[in-house]
Amino acid sequence: MTQSEPTPTDPLSPERRNAIIDGAGRVFARDGYEGASMAQIAKEVGVSKGTLYNYFPSKAALFSAFIAGGCDQTLKSILAVAPQTNDPEETLHRVGIAVLEMLLSPFRQAIHRMVMSEAAQFPELARAFFEAGPQRALNYLADWLRDETISGRLAVADPDFAAEQFFALCQTKIVMRSRLRLIDRPESAEIERVVQGAICLFLKAYAASSGPAHTLKGQRA
């Protein structure tokens, strides 16, 4: 064990953990899930394989941590610091732009293609990807939609379904074409147009009425 490595009893600092996860992401994107090995990842981040296994018991666990970290950085921080304007449109705009920036990132697209190509052989990889990334983002947005409905600013009967709708609307026209390499990265104006269109449709469907408080799915009126 090198002097710079933590011993098995040392806690893993956030900085060291992020460095390991980032290095793992580079290896996954370059070599694919099957092609990546814990030995390669350890070499990439400059630790021993034993040290890596001490903190991440499997390649699947490390992949899940990588996806979850990216999701948290992109979405949780944005919703957590949403401006205190009680303006759903402003928050949805911030979230929509962040989602597209993530989905259009060449690095994130490489990870998505890797998961899609290996999902049949490694179904646990697809599940880990969905649960650690998209599902967490959907859950976070759904929780915000519930809060907005309780506050009376929106009227969303099924926040889980509505969260998926909003993310799908934000992918209109550009995400699939970008993943298939049919287009280069869209201009900022085009991204803005897609997000604004998504918000317009979404708020038309879920604008709060002046009537009685809306009932959330699973709650009594």
pLDDT of residue 113: 84
* Confidence at residue 213, expressed as pLDDT on a 0 to 100 scale: 43
* Residue 37 falls inside a structural domain: yes
Question: In terms of DSSP H, where are the helices of 75-173?
Answer: 77-80, 88-104, 106-118, 123-132, 134-151, 159-169
The pTM of this model reads 0.72
State whether 81 and 24 are in the same domain: no
Is 92 found in the same domain as 193? yes
Residue 16 lies in a domain: yes
pLDDT score recorded for residue 133: 79
Show which of 57, 83, 103 is a domain's final residue: 57
Give whole-number Cα distances, 42 to 7, 37, 72, 116, in Å: 15, 9, 24, 25
Q: Determine the structural domain holding residue 198 and report its residue range.
A: 67-206
**CA-wise closest residue to 111 among 141, 80, 132, 90:** 132
- Whether residue 51 sits in one domain with residue 5: yes
Domain assignment present for residue 220? The answer is no
Of the candidates 57, 86, 105, which is a domain's last residue? 57
pLDDT at 220: 39
Q: pLDDT by residue for the chain (221 residues), tens digit each?
A: 444 554 444 566 888 888 899 899 899 888 888 889 999 999 999 999 988 998 899 888 888 888 777 766 666 656 555 555 678 998 899 889 988 988 898 878 888 888 888 888 888 878 888 887 788 889 889 999 999 999 999 999 999 999 999 999 999 999 999 988 899 889 999 999 999 999 999 999 999 875 444 455 554 33
Give pLDDT, residue 63: 84
Q: Which long-range contacts (CB under 8 A, 24 or more apart) does 79-86 make?
A: 79/140, 79/141, 79/144, 86/151, 86/153
Residue type at 9 in one-letter notation = T
Q: Are residues 74 and 109 in the same domain?
A: yes
113 with 9, same domain? no
We report the CATH number of the domain holding residue 20 as: 1.10.10.60
